[in-house]
Structure 1
Amino acid sequence: MMRDAVFTEPAESRVTRPAFWSALPERWTSEVEETLVCCHVRQETHDVKSFFFRSPEGRAFVFEPGQFITLELDIEGETINRCYTISSSPARPHTISITVKRVPGGKVSNWLHDRLKPGASIRVLGPAGEFTCARHPARKYLFLSAGSGITPLMSMSRAHHDLAEDRDIVFVHSARTPDDIIFARELDLIAASHANFRTSFVCERVGARTSWPGVTGFLSLPLLNLIAPDFMEREIFTCGPAPYMKAVRGLLDEAGFERSRYHEESFSFEALTAEANEPVADAAAAANDEAGSAQFNVSFARSQREILCGAGQHVLDAARQSGVRLPASCTQGMCGTCKVRLVAGQVEMKHNGGIRQREIDQGMVLLCCSKPLSDLVIDK
């Protein structure tokens, strides 16, 4: 009698079992594992891509929906830091994603779109940030977004969907045209799955879709009253370009909305950098007046420059006031662009996640959020 043949797969062709299927993974932190691997790239619209990352060691990502990570990228011989809001759900902890719009002339966004492929490794800081519904529990929410500002609110929506928390959520997203709406199909799916999740899209113009059945124009108070008549009762989260958020604040103020229940976030580095490069003489003078006459010498070792910095003044502000040009982006202790080594002296530093503890232990500081406690020598 013949026995059934037994097929043995060659060892070299076997696919290894993912680590996260066999054991509860450790929590990922950038202190322990600073490099992540890009595992997938997805085209969302004609100029928007989502980039998915995993931990090489199979660690799990723990964050609050709406928080951000900072990418440390080497582009054309220059180290550039950029903050990007996490677009994925914390309820799916084995990967983390960001969603990036290609900006004409944008050095980082174009590099990501053109160069970042599955299998590539990048350095990451975070997660960090306080723009999250997890810290403001409410029975009813209103999410307002425009353009790529949809990402933190998408993370919040995905989290509620994954956890089957059927909160009363109205999600209003503004876009240039219907073809520019990011995550349109997924938002429709979430709305179909949860009775209390409703979406509404507002487009400036119809573009190529002559049969667009939605609203055209811009968000206004009358339109908001039609979409969410009870918006005055909701906790509101807003993210988008600065002009959009200014308009939202204006219409909510006109309605008399209570600002304590309004939360907004923006990571427009062009805007932040422009603000950072504005004259700081008045702010510096105020800081010095507040701290009395105490001033410290700050020496930049490599450029052989010396400046004075008030005890209540951030070193970056004092440097710019004195004409010393230093790299910086967010000016809020988040991105790490102004990170330098402190050769001598002490500072008071209050950062927002833009530097690792081991870097602090090695003498690194962020100049944008560091005030001198003594004379300083900086390796710059």
Structure 2
Amino acid sequence: MKKFRIVAALFLTTLMLAACGNINTTQNTPSTVNKKKLQTTGQAGGDNYQGVIKNGHYQVSKSRGVTNDQDANQFNLKSFENGLLNVSKKQFKPSKYIFQEGQYLSTGTVQDWLGRESKDNPDGLNPADNGKKDPDKRNPMYLQAMEEQDYMTQDGDNLKLSGITIGLGLNSVDYYTKEQYGAQYSTKISDEQVQEQGKAIAAKVLQRLRRTKGVGKDVPVIIALYKQAPDDSLVGGTFFNYSVNDGKSIDAWKNIDQRNAVFPSAGGSASSGTSNDESNFENFKTQVQNFFPNLSGVTAQAQYQDDSLSGMNVTITTQFYSQTEVISLTQYLAQVAPKYLPSGVPIDITVQSTDGVQSFLNRDAGENKFTTHVFGSY
């Protein structure tokens, strides 16, 4: 059985805290549900959830970050977390539900479920080791990660569980060694296998969740399937199926049409449906590099939903050491980004060097101007 680790993804925790929104509260003011025990975090955006504060402390997940010890692609972690929230919003609207980090699946439980099935671990959801080492003959590890999200509604002065979302991260490539500390090998897993194994695992997870104390038989449960990107990918994976279930068995699967792209694309050839977006990005890149020659790179990750651009993350790597240079670049980006980058979608721009993040720009979907922050500028 592979070792496990708990990934302390601080930036993801911060992201989740920032994503806690409003249900009948005043902006930036925590809302009291039960004056003695429960509060909510207050508003941080109309399309985001507010979170649960219990006994003066934010309710952290009981199993956050548990994953098999092979996820070297940090983009997978962020895409998995953000994408799962978007799937949840299809069923649990932020205007009606309060977000709570997973409280029903413990670290030990998730670790057991992520392991291989064996005599010592009968709860393992990955297939038993057949003893073979050949990439095409061994039983790969299909299930890589699992995430629980709880959705609450107000019940008088208390909160009650009104929905659960479970995200299952599935490998497209399973990395392994034939001996401890030996060379790394890999088994490629086809899309058909990912889908087949994911649905089979989801059925078992739903049955087990229904037997978990406190969940109940009628609480709606979303199970979403996510295909992880390989370790060498410059983007994260994507969700491809989800199911909303009111009983003990999977009701029906719904497709999720998501894909990611990197700009500039490999070989300079954009894929179908991204050429206009990449052309706009190339114009933006050229404009910025003409005015600021000391840039090491300008790249972007674009996310598509149903063949339409849904968001973009731009990374600009500099060789700047002067604070005034960083300030000037940030000011210039705030002027040219609205002219060249796509409108109508959220865009983040991160300016960084080998020393870390230097500045950050952001624009939400319904806005025209970018907000900016230069780090270390007082």
**With structure 2 as the length reference, what TM-score do the two structures score?**
0.30
Higher RCO (CA < 8 A, seq sep 6+) = 1
Q: Which has the larger radius of gyration?
A: 1
